[in-house]
Structure 1
Amino acid sequence: MPIGLFALALGGFGIGLTEFGIVGLLPEVAADTGVSESVAGYLVSGYALSVAFGAVALSAAVIRMDRKKVLVGLMLLFILGNLISAVAPGYGILLAGRIVAALCHGAFFGIGAVVAADMVEQSRKGGAIALMFGGLTLSNVLGVPFGTLLGQQLGWRATFWVITALGVVTMIGIQALVPATPAPQDTHLQRELAAFRRPQAWVSLAVSTLAFAAVIGPFTYIAFTLTEETGFATSTLPWLLVLFGVGTFIGNYVGGRAADRNLDRTLLTALAVLTVVLGVFALLVDSKPAAVVLLLLMGAVGLSAAPGLQVRIMVYAPDAPTVASGANIAAFNIGNAIGAWIGGLTIAAGLGFASPLWVGAALAVGGVGALLVGAALPREATAGEAATVEEPLPALARQPESAG
């Protein structure tokens, strides 16, 4: 594989760490900035909303620019945002830094995937894309627990300084190792937007939103849930987050293979099982052994839907790959924001730190309902849709654009 792919993978690792590295540090951030737990959670939902905006707006704005130059520019934005977060004197500036950093998220993965594929021959494109997205997966398994541990030992700002340094190294690596990749001049935004006239495309976006709201909403407050409800010591959080990360890794792999065999059945099963897992977690939240097992299952089942969700939008908008991919990233992160927001409202209402788990279960039920609506609609197959929901699909479809 070309060495430039590792620069892209490092960028994915840093972006993944930026998105969820804050989760394990919310108690420290809340105490240091003098805000409530629910307000601290807006650092996750605010980031997610910014990702949603940037995924669509920036992808559309740079659709005809040289992709290497775009990636370098996006990393500059990433560095600036994390630098602002590292030196933020208070909550407001910290939130602003998170919003700036998030703008690059969706466009980086959408454009980076195209660049990665262009760097190798046809038979190796799937592997190249998988390597790039491997950085994002690795950030969930190792990066987030490491960021939590580092922040607990040296202060939460230290985590942002490390992420800023990762951004600098990534930008240099892209500039030095990634070849110039001009965008095709026959690309037209209006033609890609026309794909969203199909109801099935909107069903896909609705399911993506609800599925990610269901799992990321409870995950946003998991540090509070595990310490305040279950009774774990704060020092154990990094190792508990490793469990969630391992679960996401397993779920992504298994969910991708299952989606190749039967897409809609895989998504329905994942969301139905997620409903049960979250409900049982809420009921047994005061049991440490149960919490350990259910945290692993929450990551595995929740993220097992991610590959299938990406497959579905590609099936029903095959003639709009750039905008459809960006829109799906936006849907993921709107879901992240909605889940975190509603979970924060229940906590603020005095319903306890287990309440986001119940919210997640309800949102998962909504995802099942949206899928059933989609099953009742026409398939809307077009001449450009070579793949079907029952046929094997490309390796790209198995790689999640975001763990939110």
Structure 2
Amino acid sequence: MLSPKIVRRVKFWRVLCMAFSAFIFNTTEFLPVALLSDIAESFQMSVSQTGLIITIYAWIVSLLSLPFMLLTAKIERRGLLIKLFILFILSHILSCIAWNFQILVISRIGIAISHSIFWAITASLTVRLAPRDKKAQALGLLAMGSALAMVLGLPLGRMIGQWLGWRITFGVIGIVAFVVLIFLYKLLPYLVSKNAGTLKSVPILFQRPLLVGLFVLTAIVISAHFIAYSYIEPFMIQEVNISASETTLILLLFGCAGMIASILFSRFYRLGPAKFLLFAMLLLTYSLFSLWLLKKNSAFTYPLVLIWGIGIAGIGLSLQIRILQLAPDATDVAMAIFSGIYNIGIGSGALLGNQVMQHLGLSYIGIVGGVFTLFSIMCF
């Protein structure tokens, strides 16, 4: 029989595997952004046409998160996770050898399907795998894995793409995913589906005012964030007048801010959950409205981006754990709904930001996003 110390260590490695899984899933989701020009050139297409793979990915995750969660609600979680990784790996192999754009889109659809189920089950699964007194910290570690995708995943993916070609980048992710799959196979115990919920859970969940309020809050806040964040690169270059290389550093800083937020979350959230969420929303609102001021004083760019990143990451963490607490009888269904709404927020925010650019101008994306978050605070 294993000693408590060894059992605790094994649980830590299980959580670490889940965090690394989050890292590769988030890396591949946004990787086309860093490789868009190269992909477009290889298929002799325009960047705007090639960018459809990003939109398709987000909307597939939005539409399929709940249906696929319901279809897999009774499946044992370890086996389901292994099957998801197999689909994930095979889809990356197809991305690597895609002989035309349509095949690349099909491969991305496969990745999006695995993504939709993964993020529906991973938060509750990570909490189950963690030691009893480290559940909030486990969720923070999962968030750190997601944040590292922006800090390390995208830059490394872009570097590999520039050196060896974008196809090799997808191939490398497939190889890394295979290694993670082996660790998951060795470390994860048999995990019976627990409190996953069924189709009958959906109307029950929507009868809970606090939960519905969090779903609405998610849609508003994430849309507000992506109104500005979707166009942060052209905003920094055209409005703040900084170089493309410095813009890359700013994006890296944004990812680092997510890691800081996960540390703050693990230490302070339990002391006052509502206050922590409200404070994070205030940080986001302040950051979005302050983007306008960067036109006059770019010296505040770095601290402002740091505050922005901490705010949005803190919001995401707070919403996830609160939803898990409000839906203990149907955690996976609730998280599937959350994942779908989150991705709707991504798509809606990008679309609204595009309209702001066309009708008001690029400099107004922060102000419009700030109005949305200010409204959410008033409703909070």
- Whether the TM-score (by the shorter chain) exceeds 0.5 is yes
Residue 324 of structure 1: aligned partner: 334
In the alignment, is the contact (CA less than 8 A) between 1:67 and 1:182 conserved in 2? yes
- Structure 2 unaligned segments of length 5 or more: list them: 1-8
In the alignment, is the contact (CA less than 8 A) between 1:44 and 1:220 conserved in 2? no
SS state of the match for residue 64, structure 1? coil
Deviations for 1:34-78, whole angstroms, at most 9, x for unmatched residues? 4355x6655444322222233322221111112111101111222
Calculate the TM-score normalised by the size of structure 1.
0.78
Deviations for 1:59-105, whole angstroms, at most 9, x for unmatched residues? 21111112111101111222244344444456555444333312222
* Residues 28 and 278 (structure 1), Cα distance of their counterparts in 2 relative to 1, 3 Å cut: farther
Residue 375 of structure 1: aligned partner: none
Residue 341 of structure 1: aligned partner: 351
Residue 246 of structure 1: aligned partner: 256
Per mean C-alpha deviation after superposition, the further-off stretch among 296-305 and 4-13 is 4-13
- In 2, Cα distance between equivalents of 1:359 and 1:36: 26
Superposed, 1:167-316 pairs within 5 Å as 167-184=177-194, 188-190=197-199, 192-193=201-202, 194-255=204-265, 257-285=267-295, 288-316=298-326
Q: 1:368 aligns with which of 345, 356, 377?
A: 377
| Amino acid of the structure 1 residue aligned with 2:46 | V
| Amino acid of the structure 2 residue aligned with 1:201 | L
Deviations for 1:210-249, whole angstroms, at most 9, x for unmatched residues? 2122223422232333334434443444432220111122
In the alignment, is the contact (CA less than 8 A) between 1:26 and 1:40 conserved in 2? yes
Deviations for 1:144-197, whole angstroms, at most 9, x for unmatched residues? 33333433444444432322222222223322332322325x865145321221
- In 2, Cα distance between equivalents of 1:258 and 1:339: 29
- In 1, Cα distance between equivalents of 2:326 and 2:123: 19
- In 1, Cα distance between equivalents of 2:148 and 2:164: 23
In the alignment, is the contact (CA less than 8 A) between 2:76 and 2:192 conserved in 1? yes
Residue 377 of structure 1: aligned partner: none
| Amino acid of the structure 2 residue aligned with 1:273 | L
Deviations for 1:317-376, whole angstroms, at most 9, x for unmatched residues? 3432221122222222211111122223444x27554444344223323422442xxxxx
How many residue pairs match? The answer is 368
**In the TM superposition, what is the alpha-carbon distance from 1:9 to its structure 2 partner?**
2.7
| Amino acid of the structure 2 residue aligned with 1:303 | A
Deviations for 1:357-396, whole angstroms, at most 9, x for unmatched residues? 344223323422442xxxxxxxxxxxxxxxxxxxxxxxxx
- In 2, Cα distance between equivalents of 1:285 and 1:150: 34
Residue 35 of structure 1: aligned partner: 46
Residue 112 of structure 2: aligned partner: 102
Per mean C-alpha deviation after superposition, the further-off stretch among 59-68 and 157-166 is 157-166
The reply on whether 1:62 has 2:72 as its aligned counterpart is yes
- Structure 1 unaligned segments of length 5 or more: list them: 372-404
| Amino acid of the structure 1 residue aligned with 2:201 | E
Calculate the TM-score normalised by the size of structure 2.
0.82
Higher helix share: 2
**In the TM superposition, what is the alpha-carbon distance from 1:206 to its structure 2 partner?**
0.9
Superposed, 1:142-157 pairs within 5 Å as 142-157=152-167
